Amino acid sequence: MTPPAFIYSPRYAVPIGGHVFPTRKFALTAEILKSCGVFLEPDLPSREELLLAHTPEWTDKILGTIPMTLADQTRAELPFSPEISVAHRLSYSGTILACRRALEDGAGLHVGGGSHHAFADRGEGFCLLNDIAGGILAMLSEGRLRRAAVVDLDVHQGNGTAAIFRGRPEVFTFSMHQEDIYPEAPETSSLDLELPAGCRDRDYLKILEENLPRAFAAKPDLVVYQAGVDAAEDDALGGLRLTPEGLKRRDLLVREACRNFNAPAAVTLGGGYAADVRETARRHARTLLIFAGIEPSIS
C-alpha cells in the first residue's frame, strides 16, 4: 500500500508572541503524522497564482512591495512580518498542491490551510490569503475541473470564501457554523446552516447528514473540506459541544459523502483553539488520518 502524502512546511509555525492563534499546532500535527506517511513541502506561489484569488493591491501588500498598514493588520488580527508573509504564502500554495493531489490520488492532505476569512482585497480573522479559493481557482484555470464544492465545518462562517465565489455558479460553498459569533457581518454562501451555541453531537450530526448531499447535487469534480476542530466542546473561541467521537463521526460523514459522490477531497485544517495546543494537534491529525484511510489510534 502506498503511504499517504501529507503537505507541510516547517515555516508554517511562526512565533507571534501570546497570540490566540497557535501556529505551533502545525509542527505538532506534523510530528504526530511523521510515522504515518511521507511529507511534501510546497514552494512559494507565484504572483500570478496569488492573483487568482486576490486583488493586485492586496497581493503586493502580502509580497511587501507596498506597505501593509496598521489598519490592514488590525482587521486581519495578525501582526505582519516577512516570516508571516512566507508562512501564509506557503500555506496558500500548500492547498493548491493538496487540490492537485486530490485530483490525482483521491485525497489531498494539507497540514495547514483553511484560511476562510481572507477576502480578495483584505485579510480578516487571522487569515491573510484565502488558500481554499486559491486552490479551486488554480484547478479551474488549469482546466483540471469544471465544478467544485467547499464543505466548511469550522465553527465560524467562511465569509471570505463565500464572498470570493459569489456569482460563481461552478463553485458551491457550504458553511455549517455557530450563529451569532465571528464574523459579525456574515457573507452569503450557497448554503449556510447556523447552529445555536450548545449544539451537541446528536443534533449536529443529524443536521449535517440531512444537508450534506446538497453540496454534491451539482456533481463537483473536487471538494475542499475546511475541517476546523473549533466545534469541539472545550474550544476557547466556539460554543458548540462536539465530543471527540462527534468530531470523528463528522469527518467520516464528509469522507463517505465524497466517496459516494465520487468527489476527490482536499482537506485543510482550519481553526482549533483548545487550551492545550497539543490536543488541537491531535484533533487535526485524526481528521487527516481519516481521509488517508487510516484508523486513528491517537489518544
**pLDDT 10s digits, 131-188:** 999 999 999 999 999 999 999 999 999 999 999 999 999 999 999 999 999 999 999 9
CB 270 within 8 A of CB 235: no
* pLDDT of res. 17: 81
- The Cα–Cα gap between 100 and 272 comes to 25
Residue type, 8: Y
Q: Which three cell numbers stand for residue 245?
A: 467521537
Comparing CA positions, the residue from 87, 67, 93 lying closest to residue 19 is 87
* pLDDT of res. 296: 74
> Which overall architecture, per CATH, does domain 5-291 show?
3-Layer(aba) Sandwich (3.40)
Burial of 217 from C-beta contacts in 10 A (0-12 / 13-18 / 19+): exposed
* pLDDT of res. 298: 59
Residues forming beta bridges with residue 241, ordered by sequence position: 200
Mean pLDDT for 271-293 is: 97
* pLDDT of res. 18: 82
Comparing CA positions, the residue from 116, 99, 53 lying closest to residue 221 is 99
CB 64 within 8 A of CB 82: yes
Residue 234 DSSP symbol: T
Residue 97, classed as helix, strand or coil, is helix
Catalytic status, residue 88: no
- This prediction has a pTM of 0.97
* pLDDT of res. 295: 82
Mean pLDDT for 93-118 is: 98
Q: Which of 117, 156, 177, 284 is catalytic?
A: 117
Question: Is cis: bond before 79, omega within 30 of 0?
Answer: no
Confidence of residue 299 (pLDDT cuts 50, 70, 90): low
- The Cα–Cα gap between 133 and 121 comes to 13
Residue type, 230: D
For residue range 195-253, what is the model confidence (pLDDT) as tens digits? 999 999 999 999 999 999 999 999 999 999 999 999 999 999 999 999 999 999 999 99
Q: What is the CA radius of gyration of the chain?
A: 17
pLDDT at residue 92 is higher than 90: yes
pLDDT at residue 1 is higher than 70: no
pLDDT averaged over every residue in the chain: 96
Q: Which three cell numbers stand for residue 56?
A: 493586485
**Placement of cell 467547499 in the chain:** 150
Q: Nearest 5°: phi and psi at 111?
A: -85, 60
More confident site: 243 or 297: 243
Residue 295, classed as helix, strand or coil, is coil
CB 226 within 8 A of CB 136: no
More confident site: 3 or 251: 251
Q: Which three cell numbers stand for residue 246?
A: 462527534
Handedness of CA 137, 143, 147, 148 (dihedral sign): negative
Comparing CA positions, the residue from 192, 193, 150 lying closest to residue 170 is 150
Residue type, 168: R
